[in-house]
A and B are shown apart, each in its own frame.
Chain A
């Protein structure tokens, strides 16, 4: 499956548009992490636990989107966008969406 946030690929033809595909994931960290993070908040610096949490969450949202694209028979998702919102203390929603398309077969199909 080819995933890109551009709208077209030079030299590749879009055969079919399959519409919007999306995936989302809401996750929160266990209390221990939150406490550790609040200590870090006195001294500044990266909150590694949260960085990991959000990138895992983003991975999950993306794989849900790709599942949907696969079930539609797409071989690429173009114009992908991410959006993040913090919905409650310690929980964030990751949302990813894009356009599922079918590209004409080529020398390199999808990596």
Chain B
């Protein structure tokens, strides 16, 4: 009986801690995402395979990625929703955050290159499972279109390796 109470106590305190820390982290992350999105409106990301023809551009592959973990409270809620079915909103917001973060990181990289657009954006989402751990990786990648005059100026500054460098990691 006593051990049951202790077990229940552990679960409840994990739920409370998960809720407090998780919702705090989520609010903070959303605030940062909105700020950075508002700042970065000058660089359109376009999901088209056909590059602009108005002038000559140099193309450069850019990527951005993030791995996000769910919290104990979200997992619990998702478990409840699973019983009755329906929208699993706790995970929807988690993936929304991850996707927007990945796009922002990709755009940061494109901005460094002096790109005018990012074309043909693709997403890749994978569950990274380690035991009980439920974490998702979201990758966003696309082709940065750098106007030729800027590309010529950048030519000396860029090397082959630049293609492979991930975007700068920002505090979340």
Query: Which residues of A approach B to under 8 Å, CB–CB?
Result: 1-11, 34, 37-38, 40-48, 50-52, 54-55, 58-59, 62-63, 66, 80-86, 89-90, 92, 107-108, 111
Residue contact A5 to B51, C-beta cutoff 8 Å: no
Proximity bits, B61-82, A CB within 8 Å = 1, else 0 = 1010111111110100000000
Judge whether B86 is part of the interface by a CB distance below 8 angstroms: no
Interface size class of B (residues with CB under 8 A): 35 or more
Q: Given that A10-B53, A89-B129, A111-B151 are contacting pairs, would A41 and B60 also be in contact in the complex, using a CB cutoff of 8 Å? A: no
A90 neighbours in B (Cβ, 8 Å) = 128-130
Which of B51, B135, B163 has the most A CB atoms < 10 Å from its CB?
B163
Q: Given that A3-B163, A6-B119, A10-B51 are contacting pairs, would A44 and B69 also be in contact in the complex, using a CB cutoff of 8 Å? A: yes
Residue contact A4 to B143, C-beta cutoff 8 Å: yes
Residue contact A37 to B135, C-beta cutoff 8 Å: yes
A83 neighbours in B (Cβ, 8 Å) = 124
Per the bound structure, the CA–CA distance linking A27 and B69 in Å amounts to 19
Residue contact A43 to B25, C-beta cutoff 8 Å: yes
Judge whether B137 is part of the interface by a CB distance below 8 angstroms: yes
Distance (Å) between the CB of B25 and the closest chain A CB? 5
A47 neighbours in B (Cβ, 8 Å) = 67-69, 128, 135
Distance (Å) between the CB of A9 and the closest chain B CB? 6
Q: Which residue of A lies closest to B164 (CB)?
A: A59
A3 neighbours in B (Cβ, 8 Å) = 60-61, 163
Q: List 21 A-B contacts (CB under 8 A).
A: A3-B61, A4-B59, A6-B119, A10-B56, A38-B130, A38-B133, A42-B72, A43-B71, A44-B22, A44-B69, A44-B74, A45-B172, A50-B135, A58-B65, A59-B164, A80-B61, A84-B139, A90-B128, A92-B128, A108-B58, A108-B152
Distance (Å) between the CB of A66 and the closest chain B CB? 7
Judge whether B166 is part of the interface by a CB distance below 8 angstroms: yes
Contacting residue for A46 out of B120, B126, B158, B172, CB 8 A: B172
B61 neighbours in A (Cβ, 8 Å) = 3-5, 80
Contacting residue for B51 out of A9, A54, A86, CB 8 A: A9
